[in-house]
Chains A and B, each alone.
Chain A
């Protein structure tokens, strides 16, 4: 049955997989930020003896969160080509041609990522309707996201593979001269 699954390794990744990976990344990055903030607060109060409470804690927290999220996306993409969520879902970020994304392009992608959320997520529509399934931040950074399950083959489920196989046979029959 395994051989009947269609191989999609290296293909452009679709909206559902990328949404799940992005959700995992938001959860992981948020959790790490909260843990880091609590640890920093403990260190400042207990060891250093400085009160971390300021006049505008929201501003400081938002600034720290922005910096942290930028670092999370930038470093992980620049070093491994994938974030934790993308690694879990089997995705990899490459250049538009399929090469390794540079550190600069990774930083550009991390900076432009928030702009994809503007106008009710308009920047993400490219993943659904674009020819290369690229979001706004992919276009800005010149990147693309592909399926990469590491040593294993990225595969479609058997029913969809079978459907595609039948469809392929039908189309070839219709196109061939009778």
Chain B
């Protein structure tokens, strides 16, 4: 592949796209597929060929369009006027004829999904810029929207140290949860000793209710490959791995196809863009252990060992996969890299807050009208996410709390809703940014029950290596079970609080250290609910089944 060939592919693809008068984009990401968007696409395809419109109307499968709650989603876009696109919601195969008929006329009213609402207008898309627009199965479409231009720019005009400087200046921080500076991480791996280095993409997304990485991989897999290749060039690695959970079969399928296409096009493999830069990517499937999202456990798993974490230091940057310096970044982190290179670090650093730059993708779930995938600039008030983008709480219920960060995060109550969403502010109220799960809860949710749910998750996902996490999560889950079924005592609560401190301070890895967070934040903001269960034997939200306390004879 030469730079000329790359731009030629882009030009040919753009010209081809211009030939069609209309393009019908059907979401074929996991969310809409589960409500049979594949059948919708087939029906549209048939309808178009039945009417002989193949040359003027192009039906294509695209990645996530965002508003998963209203799926299957279809967007009809006139090529000449992309802004006049119409989005249809809850489309079935039977609607195909109507949609194709409406191409030249007014849209099908009963299916229209308004796109001038805050859900769409308040978002800022960087990671998801191609999601819902390009066909994830075709590398040409990615190249046509400036794909692999960042990689070309990096290998042809920049030294590795300049790439690292650029990422450092952008202020990008790890999107996997902890928010470590990406540039700093890259620089430590680049400094690591030895000629063999690895780049790993952590796609072992495991938080309950979180599906950001899945969507990125399903909607725009090449973006992640490009980000990894840029990272490999910067740190001096020639082999990469994507550790993706086997529960994401569609993401795996699209990744495999994307890697094959990139290899065939010479964008992965040996002598990329004609220089002595070699980089190949292999996929490793996770077998369903949450703890394998922890970097040292992930490395152990790739090495074929039992997926358990080990104490750090040494950090993977120093001694990672097979003892070599290893860079591990999350899917979303890598997905941010190509636009940073293309548009410059200053552009990226201009978005977000002082310490949290860029955007963050959240998977909006729970008791909110618009569930789905959103990308918002860092620093946006939580209230805006819930009420404007999320459309508020359905059924006239009242918001109780927002849970961020999954089992490592916490529940943020109504009174903190005006706080900006960035790493520091979330940490201040005891939660974390996490990988981007955001669960909205209304007044029918019992906060003790929520804490119990996450503790049960940690208990079953603890690897069992270190004592505090193995025994502590089980003990805490038992205590929470006792409290929610009405047999808890004040002593149980004291012990629960004590165990929170022990787990946090002594557990080996992040799983155990952060497992108390859901308990601690609910205790901080909803202590009265614990007290009600223990003292009055009632559940204020009415969701726990309280057994009458045993009569003392």
Say whether A and B bind each other: no
**Residues of A bordering B, CB below 8 Å:** none
